[in-house]
Amino acid sequence: MSDDRRYRPPPERTLDDVTTEDSRYEAVRSRDARFDGVFFLGVTSTGIYCRPSCPAVTPRRENVRFHPTAASAQQAGFRACRRCRPDAVPGSPEWDTRADAVGRAMRMIADGVVDREGVAGLAARLGYSARQVQRQLTAELGAGPVALARAQRAHTARVLLQTTRLPVTDIVFAAGFSSVRQFNDTIRALHGTTPSGLRAARGGGPGAVVASSSEAEGASGIPLRLAFRGPFAAREALDFLARRAVPGVEEVLGTAPRRTYRRTLALVHGAGVLEADERTGATASGSHTWLDVRLKLTDLRDLTTAVQRVRRLFDLDADPDAVAARFDGDPVLGPATRAVPGLRSPGAADGHEAAVRAVLGQQVSVAAARTLAGRLVRAYGKPLPAPDGGLTHLFPEAGALASAPLTELGMPGSRKHTLRALDTAVADGTIDLGPGADRDGTGQRLRALPGIGPWTVAYVRMRALGDPDVFLPGDAGVRHGLAALGASPRDAERWRPWRSYAVHHLWNAASAKENA
């Protein structure tokens, strides 16, 4: 990534600008990368589908068919373009903003719910019948939950085939396939070649990091390149995470601009360790940008879930150009946005962890909350089988904290009571903090707990649930940021629907004034 701060956002262009086929074709003609992942085009004359920014010759209008998802294009019989790799684009930012059943379903499918629990499990989590879920997704996305999950599995398999030397049998289950035969059939149908053909075609685009041997992968983790759109303020993202890094669970190594963020992950089938580099990559043309990460997993079946947690943590599916275009003319945030292009709103690797840390952070400084979280980890976290550098524990599970004495924290009894009430509600399923949770419903249930107020609910919505439109008027850092920029809380109304990003700009302004 170029860290060029002389950035001017492109003219504001949103999903509403590509609602007609003619407007989508214009985006294709201009190779507008802002819509990569928002829609796909199938070319009837070649039988392939592409992203809007594909560098190939623009197909004739009568030969183009538009699809809302890669799965829809695949359902229609199109194969993925080997030049632009449309299956590797960042997720549509629409799934971050939408809070309805379709948006929630897409976040859960991305997290691997269909692979683990089937369509029935997805429907139960949404509170609908399997038939209703199938109908809603097909109507809006051109594909049902099985096809959407299949497309995701195929993408994961392609990346692993072309970026690692993992044995094919390991890749089958890491990608979420139930059998080698299903894996082979899917690769042939969606990529028009065999798994060995895909592996032989490995190239230099996104995802092209190749480990020297399977033994190297076991030691250093599976190397992956996770795509994102627009500029990415990696320095600010690492700064944000470093200030809040919980000892034993997180650490940041090195010095800017070559730092590496590391943390443990509690996954479905075992533990994992994430490493993400501050320096990002791009092709010579700048058309592809990615975050280099490595994942060490106890069980390869957790790969899809781990990748999605990394994407949420670093907010990789965001549309920073849309945010910047919205703020560009604003007298308060315009200069801040141009000074720090691509500022993200980091999410969380685990929703429960984010909520616990929000309670620990009530009415104390960031440093104090970090210290309290470290004590909690040492007392109740599950140790890793062996320490990995400074990483020693997984963050404590809800069940372990629900009845814990919490004497190590040195907090008021009322705060401990709040923490136990939260963990009890998460442990028994009363509160869902997963990627597809109903944000409004979860917020209401959180507010019903003792000691949970507006700030805690808003912070959980922003970080644990990925809500892009959260404002924290009572937050000390936000108040200081508003004062530094000469603004007031009333200004936040014009920052919708991206107020979470406004909060991060205000925190940056407060920090800059404090360090001046």
Annotated catalytic residues are 50, 475
Give the max Cα distance, the chain. Answer: 70
DSSP reduced 3-state for 57: coil
SS (H, E, C) 437-483: CCHHHHHHHHHCCCCCCHHHHHHHHHHCCCCCCCCCCCCHHHHHHHH
- Rounded CA gap, 223 and 213, in Å? 12
Per DSSP, which regions of 192-270 are E strands?
A: 222-228, 250-253, 260-266
Q: How far apart are CA 429 and CA 426, in angstroms?
A: 5
Write the DSSP string, 70-124. HHHHHHTTPEEPTTT-GGGSPPPTHHHH--SHHHHHHHHHHTTHHHHHHHHHHHH
- Give the DSSP H/E element, type plus range, for residue 415: helix 413-427
Q: What's the rounded Cα separation, in Å, for the pair 259 and 235?
A: 9
d(CA 179, CA 260): 36
CA distances to 17, 122, 323 from 498, in Å: 18, 28, 6
Helices then strands, counting H and E runs in the chain, come out as: 23, 11
Of 45, 86, 47, 46, the closest CA to residue 68 belongs to 86
| Number of Cβ atoms within 10 Å of the Cβ of 119 | 19
What sign for the dihedral angle of Cα 150, 301, 110, 227? negative
Which residue(s) pair with 281 in the sheet?
290
CA distance 50 to 56: 9
Q: What is the DSSP letter of 15?
A: G
Name the H helices within 265-341: 303-314, 320-327, 333-339
Closest CA relative to residue 174, chosen from 310, 306, 295, 300: 300
Q: Cα 99–421–263 angle (5° rounding)? A: 65
Block residue for tokens 């790799």: 85
298: helix, strand or coil: coil
Three-state DSSP state, 146: helix
